[in-house]
Amino acid sequence: MIEIQAVSQRFDGPSGPVDAIRDVSISIRKGEVFGIIGRSGAGKSTLVRTLNLLNRPTSGHIILDGQDMTSLNAESLRKARRHIGMIFQHFNLLSSRTVYGNIALPLELAGAGKAEIDRKVRQLLQLVDLTALADRYPAQISGGQKQRVGIARALANDPKVLLSDEATSALDPETTKSILDLLKKINQELGLTIVLITHQMEVIKMICDRMAVMEAGELIEHGSVLDVFRAPQHPVTRAMIGDVISQDLPKGVLQRVRARLAQTREGEGQDHLLRLAFTGTEVEEPLLSEVVRRFGLDFNILHGQIDEIQGQAFGSLAILATGNKDEIEQAKAFMRSRGVTVEELNHVIAVD
């Protein structure tokens, strides 16, 4: 559906060239929600701008539905871009136009007739549940409602793909969820392919099928969301998943854990923060008590969560285990032999 082939993007910065993207290749399938995550400055926005050729890549190709976007002249590119919808963090609505007028704009630009525009806008208003607010101006609606307008506008020309660059980053958690639910509904009902850029793992977890992680312009990891959450390979990915845990821990608990882990680093303590990940619904209590019996460890459960990822139950537990190095290593091997992914998060949580 979308082939990003060996794309690199170099900018001339004030202090020399900046390689915003280095040799990134990703293959996005028709009908999936594909997430691209990375920290600030990783190159996500540059990549998404390259996807619709707002940036022409320094090298590499973007193939959309069999068409090499990088080879098109300006006129063909303008046409091809109509097949790409885009939504943004700050919505980018025209303040002088009503909700209706904002959604109608791309249809007007494409030269649609008045009746056709009206039919389409009404249909979109219904899809995003804004019929009652059609005559309001952007200043008179909430952030979540503005993003719904943004989504309706992006869908006006029946795109083949919807690009979302941090579309929920300016919204509170509850509104974020309602927008992600809407995107999922659109993905399922219209079969629309969605490429979603975010710096939040929560967002990826909620609606993506597959994902890629970017760091310093490079693609460092990709795969199904379930596989990446179960067994993240790259330290940056592990750190991002670990961040979700430290954000959820009460401040006092986090401080105490950090103090204990700092001792371990200095060779005095014996504390290890382990993240256990498993599929299936059973909480791994029996396994943990067996670990305690067999290896003489002591542990505290700090954080536990059962999520649904791509329709599968997925659990994670963060435990603070206390024991000597051998005991910890044996316990880790034993849990792994029972199909649980175990990673050590000391380095992730220990730093502020």
Element (H, E) at 325: helix 325-337
Cross-strand pairs, 272: 321
- Residue 316 within binding range of Mg ion, rule CB under 5 A: no
- Residue 172 within binding range of ligand ADP, rule CB under 6 A: no
d(CA 264, CA 254): 15
- Residue 45 within binding range of Mg ion, rule CB under 5 A: yes
25 closest CA partner among 55, 60, 58: 60
- Residue 9 within binding range of Mg ion, rule CB under 5 A: no
Binder to ligand ADP among 11, 114, 140, 280 (CB under 6 A)? 11
Residue pair 185/151 in contact by the 8 Å Cβ criterion = no
231 to each of 179, 244, 290, 307, how far by Cα in Å? 28, 15, 23, 15
d(CA 216, CA 210): 20
* Stretch near ligand ADP under the rule CB under 6 A, chosen from 34-42, 177-185, 294-302, 313-321: 34-42
- Interhelix angle 99-109/143-155, rounded to 10 degrees, is 20
What DSSP letter does each residue of 243-262 carry, written as one string?
A: HHHHHHS-HHHHHHHHHHHH
11 binds, among ligand ADP, Mg ion, none (CB under 5 to 8 A by kind): ligand ADP
304 binds, among Mg ion, ligand ADP, none (CB under 5 to 8 A by kind): none
13 binds, among ligand ADP, Mg ion, none (CB under 5 to 8 A by kind): ligand ADP
d(CA 322, CA 235): 23
Of 41 and 304, which has the nearer Cβ to ligand ADP?
41
**Please, which of residues 35-64 interact with ligand ADP by CB under 6 A?**
38, 40-46
* Stretch near Mg ion under the rule CB under 5 A, chosen from 45-53, 92-100, 224-232, 330-338: 45-53
**Please, which of residues 76-135 interact with Mg ion by CB under 5 A?**
none
Q: How far is the CB of 165 from Mg ion (least distance, A)?
A: 6
User: Applying CB under 5 A, which residues contact Mg ion?
Assistant: 44-45
User: Applying CB under 6 A, which residues contact ligand ADP?
Assistant: 11, 13, 18, 20, 38, 40-46
